[in-house]
């Protein structure tokens, strides 16, 4: 069954979802204040109110800071039974507040890079509108896990995931940049790839126990690593943050 959908935010991710919905036969209105391209098959609206008028599903893919303002702009113009799905990375508390003011609200966490996976990136949804969001997106090929939990739960899990995903990404960036400066990029890439493979749970347990057990020695090693990166003229923010964390672990009973 084809629906009337609105997509607020037509950037990298919003443009992908808007184009996919339109290609699947849904009527799609899109809004973005920036001069970004209008995806094929999408009708460009002049205002958020115009975009959401009569829509059964509203997908918000703006920056996280804009989420409350977008909800305020769209709220008075939503159809009574419209599913409002916020895909931004706003804090769980923000999602809870938005959920309290919009009846069929869902916070949606994208758990993979849209440039890599497109509209098939895994989604995690919570709140009263999560089931309806899943029924819209699943036929498109998007895997949607619906949590039996209030608004904010999906974003809580995403931000927990970000602790390691974003931190891991920057640690790898720092290591590869150092490898390049030392003329050992291929070697360090092989070392990283080897550590990322194998039994994930075993690796986690080893990190949890080993970091605390050997915190003093490893803190000194990271101190020396930071000095070496200085010699290579490579920024060492993640290395020095690791040293500080290890020293904290060493001082914790």
Rounded distance between C-alpha atoms, residue 250 and residue 240, angstroms? 15
What are the CA-CA distances from residue 121 to residues 20, 142, 158, 207 (Å)?
13, 6, 13, 28
What pTM was computed for the model? 0.88
pLDDT in tens, 13-71: 999 999 999 999 999 999 999 999 999 999 999 999 999 999 999 999 999 999 999 99
Find out whether 51 and 45 touch, Cβ atoms under 8 Å: yes
Domain spans of the chain, in order of start: 4-155, 158-251
pLDDT in tens, 106-155: 999 999 999 999 999 999 999 999 999 999 999 999 999 999 999 999 99
In this prediction, residue 130 carries a pLDDT of: 98
Report, at the CATH architecture level, how domain 4-155 is classified.
3-Layer(aba) Sandwich (3.40)
HSE value, Cβ hemisphere, 13 Å, CA-based, for 77: 16
Rounded distance between C-alpha atoms, residue 225 and residue 159, angstroms? 29
In this prediction, residue 14 carries a pLDDT of: 97
Instruction: Give the residue-averaged pLDDT of 197-207.
Output: 90
Residue 221 has pLDDT above 90, yes or no: yes
């Amino acid at each position: 069954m084809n629906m009337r959908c609105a997509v607020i935010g037509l950037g990298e991710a919003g443009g992908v979802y808007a184009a996919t919905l339109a290609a699947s036969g849904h009527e799609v209105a899109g809004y973005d204040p920036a001069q970004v391209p209008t995806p094929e098959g999408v009708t460009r609206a002049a205002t958020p109110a115009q975009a959401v008028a009569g829509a059964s599903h509203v997908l918000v893919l703006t920056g996280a800071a804009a989420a409350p303002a977008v909800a305020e702009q769209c709220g008075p113009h939503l159809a009574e039974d419209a599913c409002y799905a916020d895909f931004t990375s706003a804090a769980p508390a923000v999602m809870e507040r938005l959920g309290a003011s919009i009846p069929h609200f869902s916070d949606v966490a994208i758990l993979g890079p849209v440039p890599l996976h497109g509209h098939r990136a895994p989604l995690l949804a919570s709140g009263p509108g999560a089931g309806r969001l899943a029924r819209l997106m699943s036929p498109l090929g998007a895997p949607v896990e619906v949590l039996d939990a209030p608004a904010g739960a999906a974003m809580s899990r995403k931000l927990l995931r970000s602790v390691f995903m974003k931190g891991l990404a920057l640690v790898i960036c720092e290591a590869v940049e150092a490898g390049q400066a030392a003329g050992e990029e291929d070697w360090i890439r092989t070392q990283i790839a080897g550590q990322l493979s194998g039994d994930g749970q075993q690796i986690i347990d080893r990190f949890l126990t080993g970091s605390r057990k050997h915190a003093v020695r490893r803190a000194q090693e990271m101190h020396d690593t930071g000095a070496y990166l200085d010699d290579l003229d490579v920024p060492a923010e993640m290395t020095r943050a690791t040293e500080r964390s290890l020293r904290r672990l060493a001082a914790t009973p």
